[in-house]
Amino acid sequence: MLQSSYRSLCLLALSPLALGLAGAADAAKRVDLHALSVAQLNHQYQAATAGLAVASQANQRHAELLGLDAQSGLKQVNFAQDADGTKHYRYQQTFRGIPVFGDHVVVSEKDGAVRTLFGRKVEGLASEIPAGAAKLSRDQALDIGKHAGLGQRFAAMQSRDEHSDLMIYVDDAGRAHKAYVVSFFADSTSAGVKASRPFVIVDADNGKVLKQWEGLTTALIGTGPGGNVKTGQYEWGSGGIYGYNDVTQSGTTCTMNNTNVKSVNLNGGTTGTTAFAYTCPRNTYKTINGGYSPINDAHYFGGVITKMYPAYTGYNALSFQLVMRVHYKTAYENAFWDGSEMNFGDGATTFYPLVSSDVAGHEVSHGFTEQHSNLTYSGQSGGINEAFSDMGGEATEYYWKGTNDFLVGQEIFKSTGALRYMCNPTQDGKSIDNAANYSSTLDVHYSSGVYNKAFCTLAKTVGWSTPSAFKVFARANALYWTAGTDYNSGACGVEQAAVDVGMSVSNVISAFNAVGVACPNPPGGGTTPPPPTTGNLIANPGFESGAVSWTQTSGVITNSTSRTPHGGSWYAWLDGYGSAHTDTLSQAVSIPSTSTAATLTFYLKIDTAETTTAYAYDTLKVQILNSAGTVLKTCNTYSNLNASSTYSQKSCSVGAYAGQTVTIKFTGTEDSSLQTSFLVDDVAVQ
């Protein structure tokens, strides 16, 4: 007990000042963990815990490393381990024991050291979340959520799988709330009423609806080939790609139930759990809306999916038996994942029965996502969620046929053409193919075009294929994405996955660049930094590849439009907070022994809110350090007194360090009031 108390006191003394992560805050703040320097965190944590016993529980160790305050913790929700011993922990942050909604903390470590960080942590909750119990009960919040989620449909629908979970919710404006996250599945026996799976966030103290969205992950505009009048009839068990259905036989009765897949005939209804049975050996049930036997197709493709996932990704599609429920309602023009089962409509005027390899693969992939990253089904994360399912559909098609067409819905769509075009998303007239065209009003099926095109581009790159591209996206989903992942942070996860499996990271970067997406902090392993300009010893001198080759305080390297670069789109922005703060930016450079006239140059622009003409309150030091971190030279110190409206080139001789590896370091230090921003761009050592 004494040792534990001593440890807590030591860590408290060192955090947040020593760890530099969790300072006092007046409001809730999300911190992008991938933007933090893992090397620096490991070093600081080792220094902070020197002489102390290492925490035996990984979640405690990682909470300490991330500088979480005494009221916050990490609750493990998933764990995986690679063959090389790398351990992957997925956590949910808690505050006073209440889970924080929307983001996970993802930590990968090997040999006792953290290797990568993904997700976000939330700081500053104590000032916004009052102590004490919620004023609303779970049942009261559920009732509010059901009325808000269903509206005028409330009286006509029956609900199941109801959840009303107390959580901490941080809204888009950064305000934290104690809230209930309400979700449920609702349906009706009436043919004209569509199934729904609303998610509603209800303030736990005043009952206000803070946010809501439709969480029923659907095919909507369809995907995939199948056995219908458009494709022609095929016979399961006839050989080639038309293998035998895996059924259980007892006497003359065959039942569509095996270890991996169970298929259920709803026969126009909405409920049912009994596996479909027929007289062996041939099932002919039933021809409907141009489909020859939708339940045969569903059962076979369920088997394809459950084999494809471990073969291509190393993960199971689901953590439980896949249930395929066929003939959902009458003339139902959709297929959907309801959180536990697959449901297929028979179509009507727009679709043939929605049972095909890629429709099935698409919907089951929603289940994979829900059991791993749990990408929120709205905004950019919703577009990624939908795109990943399109990828899963194409991977299923490839596993079955040995090829795929990247055309979504071509063979079950009764009209000509396809519903979505993964390689050319804008061809459907609604989808986007570049992140620059994203709008929060876009349906997730159309914002999916950005990641769909990136996937197609990567899969068609020399050395890649649909299976290998799906492997890195699935690994990112399983290990690195979180509920709030957006286009850019999602790319970071895919790039790290490429590093993990030994594929080309530069190919992944190029595929994302083609759709206007860039990871702000690309992984170090496997990444080839852009070459320096002729004679320039600095890698990525204009920051156009983000943080590649640089060590930075989180967020220093940016493409924010709040300030302007000297050239290109990216630059380094140190300070500018208007409060006590220090930012650093550095890169190690090996200066050839013959470069005795080498000179450091960079472009600098300073803007300030300071009004003094006499005192340097905020400063930027430019220094040269040796490999031990000792300052060899201070080139200059700039301050708020040097403010200017334009960039100007600065220089410093570094020829005295020819034959050495030195570090070029910029350190911006700001006092407690009135901002000063130091903007650095186009750095060179020549």
Give 118-168 pLDDT, tens digit per residue: 999 999 898 889 888 999 999 999 999 999 888 888 888 888 889 999 999
Of residues 9 and 300, the one with the higher pLDDT is: 300
DSSP bridge partners of 242 = 239
> How much of the chain exceeds pLDDT 70, in percent?
93
Q: Is 371 helix (H, G, I), strand (E, B) or coil?
A: helix
Q: Which of 109, 128, 363, 397 is catalytic?
A: 363
User: Per CATH, the architecture of 2-123 is what?
Assistant: Roll (3.10)
pLDDT of residue 39: 81
Q: Which amino acid is at 429?
A: G
Residue bearing tokens 């505050």: 95
Confidence of residue 1 (pLDDT cuts 50, 70, 90): very low
pLDDT of residue 453: 98
Q: Which amino acid is at 36?
A: L
The pLDDT of 306-328, averaged and rounded, is 95
Contacts of 531 (CB under 8 A, 6+ apart): 539
Kindly tell me if the per-residue pLDDT of 351 is higher than 50.
yes
Give 405-419 pLDDT, tens digit per residue: 999 878 888 988 888
Spell out the domain ranges in the chain.
2-123, 551-685
Q: Which helix (H) or strand (E) holds 170?
A: strand 158-170
Q: Is 650 helix (H, G, I), strand (E, B) or coil?
A: strand
Confidence of residue 42 (pLDDT cuts 50, 70, 90): confident
DSSP string, 451-516: HHHHHHHHHTSTT--HHHHHHHHHHHHHHT--TT--HHHHHHHHHHHHHHHT--HHHHHHHHHTTT
Kindly tell me if the per-residue pLDDT of 223 is higher than 60.
no
Contacts of 204 (CB under 8 A, 6+ apart): 134, 135, 136, 141, 166, 177, 178, 179, 180
Confidence of residue 218 (pLDDT cuts 50, 70, 90): low
Q: Which of 445, 495, 566, 581 is catalytic?
A: 445
Is 566 annotated as catalytic? no
Q: Topology of domain 551-685, per CATH? A: Jelly Rolls (2.60.120)
Answer left, alpha or beta for residue 353, where phi above 0 means left and psi between -120 and 50 means alpha: beta
Contacts of 573 (CB under 8 A, 6+ apart): 555, 556, 558, 560, 563, 677, 678, 679
Is 327 annotated as catalytic? no
Q: What is the rounded distance in angstroms from the CA atom of residue 619 to the CA atom of residue 679? A: 12
CA distances from 584 to 22, 171, 413, 680 (A): 17, 30, 56, 11
The distance of Cα 369 from the centroid of its chain, to the nearest Å, equals: 10
